[in-house]
Each structure stands twice: as C-alpha cells, then as structure tokens.
Amino acid sequence: MDPCAFLLSTDAVSGYTSGMAVTWMNRCDKQSWMVSVKQSSYTMQLIRSSREFVLALASSELVNELTYFGSHKGHDEGIDKLANTGIQTMPFDASSIRTPYLPQAYRNIACKVGGILPVSDEYAIVYGNIAEQCDNDVAEQLFYCGKDEQGNRQYVVQHRHSAQNMRIDDVLPTKTYLPLGSII
C-alpha cells in the first residue's frame, strides 16, 4: 500500500496551477520531503518555473478526483484537471507559496524546492523544504493498493484515531472506484 497524493504547482509567470497524482513520495526529515516526478511532465515544468510545490495527501473524500488526476494528462491534452473535477483550492495564509492547497485533503505540505536530482532519463527526485503545512482533522488518509483484475484502481483508508501504528489490519477496505470519464 502506498499513500497517494496530489502534487500541485503554479506557473511563476501566468499563475496557472496544475498537478498530477503521485504515490512515490517520502519524508526525509522533519523539515523536508522528496517526490518522484516524470521529467517530461507539465507538473515538472511548473515546479522548475516556480521552485515550489504542494504535496496534498489524499483523503477518502477526494478518491474520484485523485483517480481523474492519475488517469488524465492535463496540459498536453488541453485538460484543466482542477476545473474539470471542481476540486476546491485555497491559498495558504501567511506564506510565500503561491500554489494553493486542497482543503479536503488529509494533509497539505507546501515546499520550496531544495533540489532536483535526475535519477533516470525519465524521472527525477524533487527535494522540497517545508514552508507551511495544514491538516484536515476530520479526513481519513487514502492509500493506493494497485489495480484489480479489470484494471480499476483500488484504495483503502486509515482512520486517524487508530490505537496503534498502521498495519495492514488497521486499514479498512473501501469500495473499488472506477476511473472517471469527463467531469463537467
């Protein structure tokens, strides 16, 4: 099981915000995160432009939006994922981060880029120093569990007030969510 997140960034010139779904991310220490991003993605272009990103750890409320973000390329195909899903965004309070956060997410972590390390011709690790963070106290964190036999993405949730550290037994299965068609 992998935690899932939205990776958002904003163009430094136009102010346009876009993003993608990610599952490979890791907290480095109390002050930094790293995330794997395809070098040719539009999101990487925005990260390079703005030198910032927001990692919005997905909640069970955002499962359909996450599935949409994970199954559609945005800018390349003229798709505005934020507009098409109707996902709500808000600016951080007193921050130098222009990229908005997702209030329905489990946790939003705003980072300033500390470095970008190409690890292959296709992917790079983006290292970010935490500038601000906000949590949703009522949300349940969403985890990706792979695809079923029909190719549908499967997710599970973890309740915030679990008595022990998370183990497979602490995670409650949700229904299988099918990829979305057009959301208008």
Whole-angstrom Cα distance, residue 72 to residue 18?
12
Domains and CATH numbers, the chain: 2-173 (2.30.110.10)
76: exposed, middle or buried (Cβ count in 10 Å: 0-12, 13-18, 19+): exposed
In percent, the amount of the chain with pLDDT more than 90 equals 53
Confidence of residue 1 (pLDDT cuts 50, 70, 90): low
Lookup result for tokens 């794997």? 36
Residue 168 clears pLDDT 70, i.e. is over it: no
Pairing mode of beta strands 107-118, 153-158: unpaired
Q: 3-state DSSP: the chain helix, strand, coil percent, rounded to 5?
A: 15, 40, 40
Whole-angstrom Cα distance, residue 154 to residue 179?
10
**What pairs with residue 36 in β-bridges?**
125
**What pairs with residue 128 in β-bridges?**
33, 113
Confidence of residue 91 (pLDDT cuts 50, 70, 90): very high
This prediction has a pTM of 0.82
> In the predicted model, what is the mean pLDDT of residues 24-30?
89
Residue 6 clears pLDDT 90, i.e. is over it: yes
Quote the pLDDT of residue 56: 95
Residue 117 clears pLDDT 70, i.e. is over it: yes
> In the predicted model, what is the mean pLDDT of residues 24-49?
92
Residue 169 clears pLDDT 70, i.e. is over it: no
Whole-angstrom Cα distance, residue 100 to residue 106?
15
